[in-house]
């Protein structure tokens, strides 16, 4: 599961790709 650390895109094992401006999407308000 590739993910970027620029806070723009992140792919997790249990969700689809989520785009966000949060540096930590998995722990942010825009988590999938």
Q: What is the pLDDT of residue 32?
A: 47
Q: Are 9 and 17 in contact (CB under 8 A)?
A: yes
Prediction pTM value: 0.13
pLDDT tens readout for residues 1-32: 455 555 555 555 555 555 555 566 566 565 54
Task: Please report, for residues 22, 29, the alpha-carbon distance to residue 10 in angstroms, rounded to integers and kept in the order given.
Answer: 10, 14
Can you tell me the distance from the alpha carbon of 23 to that of 25, in angstroms, rounded to the nearest whole number? 6
Can you tell me the distance from the alpha carbon of 7 to that of 13, in angstroms, rounded to the nearest whole number? 17
């Amino acid at each position: 599961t590739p993910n970027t650390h620029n806070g723009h895109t992140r792919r997790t094992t249990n969700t689809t790709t989520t785009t966000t401006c949060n540096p930590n999407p998995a722990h942010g308000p825009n988590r999938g």
